Amino acid sequence: MSLLIIGSVAFDAIETPFGQTGKIVGGSASYISLASALFYPKVGLTAVVGEDFDFDFLERLKKQGVDTSGVQVKKGEKSFFWSGKYHLDMNSRDTLVTELNVLGDFDPIIPEGWDSPDYVMLGNLSPQVQITTLNRLKKRPKLVVMDTMNFWMEIALPELKEVLSMVDLLTINDEEARQLSGELSLVKAARVIRNLGPKYLIIKKGEHGALLFGPDDQVYFCPALPLEDVFDPTGAGDTFAGGFLGYMASTGATEFADMRKALMYGSCTASFCIEKFGTQRLEEISRADIEARMEKFHNLIAL
């Protein structure tokens, strides 16, 4: 069994009420890979970076067990760059800069031995690249999960709808779910979005947890761990998805009932991500740290 991830591997610059970073490593696939590798040993990454990238980070990914043979390096080009500024409540942010650079004409090459994965995570990326990735696989994976954001709804809605019709599960935040569906109620939004294709939908609500919607009006709620200090929420959504799918892959499962526990693991992994800037905290922790914190989750919801 294997888990293939595609998404952005990037430079970010982040401003929170606690401080500001210069250019640090970020990108949806960086967070997803680190999170899923905590649960599952066979993780492969497809991405593109420029010549300016921090190649030490790719070495560190390899040490965590991620196969980076699908990461292309574009000579003479710059890596994707994103900059964001968080509001005081840390639940919302403004995007200050999005420079696609190498992502502008990314042609995803599936590395050797990775064209028949059982699980696929299409991280936040151009919907056209997400479609191409799926079309290049030799067989239909057991479970395809995708993430997206408002940026793509605004510039590539037809392609976004096409990829939605090809996947099993979409993860999206509450604001984006409302934007995509045109509905204010998240329950109505979930119905509209599931009608576009995905059988399952996860709506992330930041510090207020996440909702999982499935067939036959099934809904499940998972809290986020109340933390004393939220330092930098960047990548929390991707870490959540990586933890979720890494756990699913580790069990070989694909159904709603299995997703409930995976949701808890995703939320638990994300609670580490936000404790430090960038990918720093994720690179420090082990599965044992996650298991220890899972107890707090059980206590949070036990009757």
- Closest contact distance (angstroms) between CB of 230 and ligand AMP is 12
Separation CA 78–CA 84 (nearest Å): 19
Among 6, 24, 26, 38, binds ligand AMP (CB under 6 A): 26
Chain centre to alpha carbon of residue 219 = 21
Per CB under 6 A, does 124 bind ligand AMP?
A: yes
DSSP state of 199: S
Separation CA 191–CA 198 (nearest Å): 10
Coil/strand/helix, residue 38: coil
238 is catalytic: yes
| Count of residues interacting with ligand AMP (CB under 6 A) | 17
Separation CA 150–CA 288 (nearest Å): 35
Cβ neighbours of residue 140 closer than 8 Å, sequence gap 6 or more = none
Strands (E), the chain: 3-6, 10-16, 19-20, 24-26, 43-50, 66-74, 81-86, 93-99, 119-122, 143-147, 169-173, 200-204, 210-214, 218-222
- Closest contact distance (angstroms) between CB of 182 and ligand AMP is 21
Per CB under 6 A, does 235 bind ligand AMP?
A: yes
Stretch that binds ligand AMP, among 66-74, 130-138, 182-190, 234-242 (CB under 6 A): 234-242
- Closest contact distance (angstroms) between CB of 124 and ligand AMP is 4
Pairing of strands 24-26, 43-50: unpaired
Residue number, 42 or 239, with CB nearest to ligand AMP: 239
> Residue 173 is encoded by which pair of tokens?
């935040």
Per CB under 6 A, does 250 bind ligand AMP?
A: no
Among 198, 237, 243, 246, binds ligand AMP (CB under 6 A): 237
Residue number, 124 or 133, with CB nearest to ligand AMP: 124
Among 35, 146, 236, 282, binds ligand AMP (CB under 6 A): 236
CB 160 within 8 A of CB 127: yes
Among 238, 267, 281, 282, binds ligand AMP (CB under 6 A): 238
Stretch that binds ligand AMP, among 26-34, 175-183, 255-263, 283-291 (CB under 6 A): 26-34
Q: Which amino acid is at 267?
A: S
Per CB under 6 A, does 108 bind ligand AMP?
A: no
Task: Give residue number: closest CB to ligand AMP.
Answer: 26
Coil/strand/helix, residue 126: coil
- Closest contact distance (angstroms) between CB of 35 and ligand AMP is 11
Binding positions for ligand AMP, 4-23, rule CB under 6 A: 8, 10, 12
Among residues 12, 168, 232, 238, which one is catalytic? 238
Separation CA 263–CA 247 (nearest Å): 9
Per CB under 6 A, does 151 bind ligand AMP?
A: yes
Per CB under 6 A, does 98 bind ligand AMP?
A: yes
Separation CA 303–CA 300 (nearest Å): 9
- Closest contact distance (angstroms) between CB of 184 and ligand AMP is 22
Coil/strand/helix, residue 6: strand
Coil/strand/helix, residue 140: coil
| Nearest CA-CA partner of 133 in 253, 299, 11, 5 | 5
Please give the positions annotated as active site: 238
Residues of the shown chain interacting with ligand AMP in the complex, contacts defined by CB under 6 A:
8, 10, 12, 26-28, 82, 98, 124-125, 149, 151, 234-238
